[in-house]
C-alpha cells in the first residue's frame, strides 16, 4: 500500500512556491508546519521560513512504481475490545510499514494510537483486552493476534519501542550503561563486557556528551532530552527492524524535540529501520513521515503517502485536523476547530464514527465507509471522497 | 528528581554525589537517626564481643553474693542466685538481637516474595495471598506469636519462628502495595518492551524499587520483634533458663522489685534503649530514603 520513498535530500529547497505547487491544499504548507519543531528548526536556520519544502517534491516521486518487496510489517483487520465493553476500541484497522519507511499515525487523544502500538508490542496487560480479529505479518512471519501474542524474543530485538515519557521510563536504581547492556544481553547474548562495549557505542551514536561517564550515570543525573537519547540507544541497541515510537517528543521542550526527531530519523535512515511514529503533532508528521495514517475513534480514516494526504486531504476529519494547526503567516483570527470531542466508546455512532462531528454528515454515513483508494496509494474512508466532486454536485 | 535539570549534571557528571552518598549524607545529618544508629551498633558490638569481655560467666552462681546491690565487683548487682546481672545482660543481648534480626529475616524472606507475587500478578493469586494475610492480621501480633510459640514448644528458635510468622503479613501487605505502585511505572513497561522475562522484571526492576520502604519497615519491626521475644521469654515461651534473656530476667526480677530493683531495672533499660535505637534508626532511614526530599 505504501512505498518506501527515496532518502530525502537535505537541500533547502523551500521557497515561496509551496502554496502554488499544492494548489488544492486546504492548509498552506508553511502554515501547517508551525509546530514547535518547525519553529525551532526555522529559528536555527535549518529551514527556510517556508518550511522544509524539500520533503514535498512531488515531482521526484511521480512515476515510481510500487515496490514489489513485501512490507516489513502488515497489520490486517485488527480489532481490539477492552474487557467489559461492547464496542471495539480499535475497529478493523490495517497498517503497513515498509523497510526503511516512517509511518506516522496521527489523531487526537483517545483515538487508539497508543493502544494499537501497545497491542503490537504485546504490552497490554494480560486479560485486559480481547482481540476478536487481526493478523500481523512481520518479517515474513504471520501471527494470528486473536490467539497468540508476539513472542517475547521479538520485543526489544527485532521490534523495539520508544516511550513518551523519558523521565520515568528508565529504571531509577540501575546505571544507564547496565540498562542498555541488559537489553543487548537479553537478545544477543555474549559477555557482559561485549554488551557494555555495545552500550558505549550506542551512547556515542545517539550523541550523548561524554558517553564513558554517562555509562556510569543513574537516570536521575540526566536531563529529559538526554534520557530520551538513552531510551533511543536502548531501543536501537539490537538493530531492530521495526521501531515503534509512541509520541517520543511530547514530553520534551521544543528545541530538544527537534534534536530528538532528527536523531531518530538519522539513525532510522542509517539502519533502514521501519518506523511507526505515533503523534498528534502534524509538525512532527511533516518533519519525519513518509506515509501517514490518520486515526479517528479507533479507525483509520485516511492513509497514504504524506505528500498526498497533506496536499489533498480527503477525509473531513483530516481536513479539520489540518485546519486547526495555528499559522504564523496569513490572517490571524480564530483557529478552526472540530466541534465536540471524540465520543466515549459506548457512545460511538454506528457507521462512520466521525459523523456526529462531521460538517458533511449525511444519512449515507450510517453505513460504515470502506477505505477507498483515491489515487497513488492515498485512501480514505469517506462516502463522499473525493470531496471535490461531491461538493461541486452539492453546489 | 531536581538533579535532572541541574546544569551541573550536564557540565560535570562525575562531580555529582552518588545517590548512596546522598542518602548517607542525609542520614548523617539526621541527629536522632545517628543516635539510634549508635545505640544499635553499641548493643550489636557488645553482643558480638560477649565471649571476649572480662565478665563473669552468665550462668555461674555465687551463693555468697545473692541479690547484691551494684558494687565494684558486680557493676549492675547480682540476681537471686548470685549471678552477675551485667554478664547476663550482655549475653542476653545476643538472644534479644538474634531473635529480632532472625525473626524479621524470616518475615522478610517469606513476606516479600509473596507480596511481590500478589502485587504483580493480581487476580486469584492476589486474592488467595491477601485473604490469608488479612486472616493473620486479624489476630493481634503478640497473641499470634504466643499461640504459635506455645504450639511449637518453648525455645528461643521456636520463639523466633513464631515471631517471624506473626510479622510476615505486615511485609506481604507492604510489599504488595508498593509493587502495585511500581508495576505501572513506565520503566517496568519499558523492561517488558525490551523483552525481559518476568523473572528478571521482578528481581531487577520491581524488587530494588520497592526495597526502601521494606528496609524501613524491617528496621522498625526488629524493635517490635525484640519486645515480642522479651515478652515470650517473660512468659517462659522463649529463651529457656538458665540461658540468659532480658525477658526471663524481668520475669524473675518482678518477684524482687522491692528487695532488688536493679534486677529489673537494667534489663528494662536495655530493652528500652535497644528498641528506641531501632525505632530512631528506622525513622531516620525513612527520612533519608524518602524520594520526595531528595
B-chain residue closest to A179, CA distance? B191
Would the CB atoms of A170 and B190 count as touching at under 8 Å? yes
Q: Is the pLDDT of residue A337 over 50?
A: yes
pLDDT interval class at B18 (50, 70, 90):
low
pLDDT interval class at A9 (50, 70, 90):
very low
Instruction: Return the pLDDT at B205.
Output: 92
pLDDT interval class at A332 (50, 70, 90):
low
Contact A295, A113 (CB under 8 A): yes
A-chain residue closest to B207, CA distance? A173
Angstrom distance (rounded) from CA A338 to CA A296: 12
pTM of the full structure: 0.74
Between the CA of residue A116 and those of A95, A173, A289, B136, what are the distances in Å?
10, 30, 18, 43
Q: Is the pLDDT of residue A38 over 90?
A: no
For the stretch B140-196, pLDDT in tens is 999 999 999 999 999 999 999 999 999 999 999 999 999 999 998 889 988 888 888
Instruction: Return the pLDDT at A113.
Output: 87
Quick check: A180 contacting B, CB < 8 Å? Answer: no
Quick check: B240 contacting A, CB < 8 Å? Answer: no
Spell out which residues of chain A touch residue B209, defining contact as CB-CB under 8 Å: 171-173
Residues A2-11, buried b or exposed e (16+ Cβ, 10 A)? bbbbeebeee
User: Over chain A, what is the mean pLDDT?
Assistant: 77
Would the CB atoms of A155 and B1 count as touching at under 8 Å? no
For the stretch A264-277, pLDDT in tens is 888 888 888 999 99
Q: Which of A153, A155, A220 sits opposite B4 (nearest CB)?
A: A220
Q: Which of B4, B13, B195 sits opposite A210 (nearest CB)?
A: B13
Quick check: B181 contacting A, CB < 8 Å? Answer: no
Between the CA of residue A144 and those of A71, A96, A138, B172, what are the distances in Å?
17, 16, 11, 39
Spell out which residues of chain A touch residue B208, defining contact as CB-CB under 8 Å: 171, 173-174
pLDDT interval class at A114 (50, 70, 90):
confident
Rounded to a whole number, what is the distance in Å from the CA of A326 to chain B's nearest CA?
30
Instruction: Return the pLDDT at B195.
Output: 84
Q: Which of A123, A224, A235 sits opposite B189 (nearest CB)?
A: A123
Instruction: Return the pLDDT at B291.
Output: 66
Instruction: Return the pLDDT at A19.
Output: 37
For the stretch B130-142, pLDDT in tens is 999 999 999 999 9
Instruction: Return the pLDDT at A1.
Output: 42
Interface test with B, best of A221, A231, A234, A242 (most B CBs within 10 A): A221
Beta bridge partners of A54: none
Task: Tell me which of A358-372, B205-219, B254-268 is least confident.
Answer: A358-372
Q: Which of B3, B10, B192 sits opposite A123 (nearest CB)?
A: B192
User: Over chain B, what is the mean pLDDT?
Assistant: 87
Q: Is the pLDDT of residue A238 over 50?
A: yes
Spell out which residues of chain A touch residue B187, defining contact as CB-CB under 8 Å: 168-172
Look up the ipTM and state it: 0.70
Task: Tell me which of A60-64, A273-277, B35-39 is least confident.
Answer: A60-64
For the stretch B266-287, pLDDT in tens is 999 999 999 999 999 999 998 8
Between the CA of residue B36 and those of A7, A316, A378, B24, B224, what are the distances in Å?
66, 70, 72, 14, 15
Q: Is the pLDDT of residue B221 over 90?
A: yes
Amino acid at each position: 500500500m505504501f512505498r518506501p520513498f527515496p532518502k530525502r535530500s537535505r537541500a533547502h529547497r523551500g521557497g515561496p512556491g509551496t502554496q502554488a505547487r499544492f494548489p488544492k491544499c486546504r492548509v498552506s504548507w508553511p502554515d501547517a508546519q508551525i509546530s514547535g519543531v518547525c519553529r525551532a528548526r526555522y529559528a536555527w536556520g535549518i529551514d527556510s521560513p517556508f518550511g522544509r519544502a524539500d520533503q514535498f517534491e512531488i515531482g521526484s516521486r511521480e512515476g515510481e512504481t510500487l515496490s514489489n518487496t513485501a512490507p516489513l510489517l502488515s497489520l490486517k483487520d485488527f480489532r481490539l475490545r477492552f474487557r467489559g465493553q461492547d464496542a471495539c476500541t480499535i475497529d478493523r484497522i490495517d497498517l503497513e510499514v515498509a523497510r526503511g519507511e516512517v509511518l506516522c499515525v496521527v489523531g487526537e487523544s483517545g483515538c487508539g494510537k497508543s493502544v494499537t502500538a501497545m497491542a503490537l508490542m504485546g504490552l497490554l496487560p494480560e486479560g485486559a483486552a480481547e482481540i476478536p480479529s487481526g493478523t500481523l505479518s512481520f518479517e515474513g512471519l504471520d501471527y494470528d493476534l486473536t490467539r497468540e501474542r508476539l513472542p517475547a524474543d521479538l520485543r526489544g530485538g527485532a521490534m523495539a519501542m520508544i516511550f513518551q515519557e523519558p523521565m520515568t521510563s528508565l529504571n531509577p536504581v540501575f546505571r544507564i550503561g547496565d540498562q542498555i547492556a541488559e537489553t543487548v544481553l537479553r537478545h544477543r547474548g555474549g559477555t557482559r563486557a561485549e554488551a557494555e562495549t555495545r552500550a558505549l557505542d550506542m551512547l556515542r551514536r545517539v550523541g550523548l556528551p561524554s558517553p564513558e561517564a554517562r555509562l556510569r550515570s543513574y537516570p536521575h543525573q540526566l536531563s529529559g532530552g538526554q534520557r530520551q537519547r538513552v531510551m533511543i540507544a536502548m531501543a536501537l541497541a539490537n538493530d531492530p527492524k521495526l521501531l515503534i515510537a509512541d509520541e517520543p517528543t511530547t514530553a520534551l521542550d521544543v528545541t530538544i524535540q527537534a534534536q530528538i526527531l532528527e536523531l531518530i530519523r538519522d539513525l532510522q535512515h542509517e539502519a533502514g529501520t521501519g518506523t511507526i511514529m505515533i503523534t498528534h503533532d502534524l509538525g512532527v508528521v511533516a518533519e519525519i513521515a513518509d506515509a501517514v495514517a490518520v486515526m479517528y475513534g479507533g479507525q483509520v480514516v485516511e492513509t497514504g503517502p504524506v505528500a498526498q494526504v497533506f496536499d489533498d486531504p480527503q477525509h473531513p476529519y483530516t481536513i479539520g485536523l489540518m485546519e486547526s494547526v495555528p499559522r504564523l503567516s496569513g490572517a490571524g483570527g480564530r483557529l478552526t476547530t472540530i466541534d465536540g470531542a471524540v465520543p466515549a466508546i459506548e457512545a460511538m455512532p454506528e457507521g462512520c464514527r466521525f459523523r456526529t462531528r462531521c460538517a458533511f454528515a449525511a444519512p449515507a454515513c450510517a453505513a460504515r465507509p470502506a477505505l477507498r483508494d483515491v489515487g497513488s496509494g492515498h485512501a480514505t474512508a469517506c462516502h463522499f471522497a473525493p470531496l471535490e466532486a461531491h461538493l461541486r454536485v452539492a453546489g | 528528581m531536581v538533579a535532572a535539570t541541574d546544569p551541573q549534571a550536564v557540565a560535570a557528571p562525575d562531580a555529582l554525589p552518588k545517590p548512596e552518598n546522598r542518602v548517607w549524607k542525609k542520614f548523617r545529618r539526621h541527629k536522632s537517626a545517628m543516635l539510634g544508629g549508635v545505640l544499635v551498633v553499641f548493643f550489636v558490638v557488645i553482643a558480638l564481643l560477649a565471649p571476649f569481655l572480662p565478665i563473669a560467666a552468665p550462668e555461674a552462681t555465687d551463693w555468697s553474693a545473692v541479690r547484691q546491690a551494684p558494687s565494684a565487683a558486680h557493676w549492675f548487682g547480682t540476681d537471686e542466685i548470685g549471678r552477675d546481672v551485667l554478664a547476663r545482660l550482655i549475653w542476653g543481648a545476643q538472644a534479644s538481637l538474634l531473635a529480632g534480626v532472625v525473626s524479621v529475616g524470616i518475615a522478610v524472606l517469606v513476606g516479600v516474595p509473596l507480596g511481590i507475587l500478589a502485587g504483580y500478578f493480581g487476580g486469584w493469586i492476589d486474592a488467595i495471598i491477601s485473604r490469608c494475610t488479612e486472616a493473620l492480621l486479624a489476630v493481634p501480633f503478640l497473641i499470634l506469636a504466643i499461640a504459635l510459640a506455645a504450639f511449637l514448644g518453648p525455645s528461643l528458635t521456636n520463639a523466633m519462628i513464631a515471631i517471624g510468622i506473626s510479622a510476615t503479613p505486615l511485609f506481604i501487605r507492604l510489599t504488595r502495595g508498593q509493587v502495585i505502585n511500581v508495576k505501572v511505572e513506565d520503566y517496568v513497561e519499558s523492561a517488558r518492551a525490551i523483552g525481559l522475562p518476568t523473572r528478571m522484571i521482578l528481581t531487577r526492576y520491581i524488587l530494588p524499587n520497592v526495597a526502601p520502604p521494606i528496609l524501613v519497615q524491617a528496621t522498625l519491626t526488629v524493635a517490635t520483634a525484640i519486645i515480642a521475644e522479651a515478652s515470650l521469654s517473660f512468659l517462659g515461651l522463649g529463651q529457656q533458663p538458665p540461658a540468659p534473656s532480658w525477658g526471663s530476667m524481668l520475669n524473675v526480677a518482678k518477684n524482687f522489685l522491692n528487695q532488688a530493683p536493679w534486677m529489673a531495672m537494667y534489663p528494662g533499660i536495655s530493652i528500652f534503649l535497644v528498641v528506641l535505637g531501632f525505632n530512631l534508626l528506622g525513622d531516620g532511614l525513612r527520612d533519608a530514603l524518602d524520594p520526595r526530599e531528595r
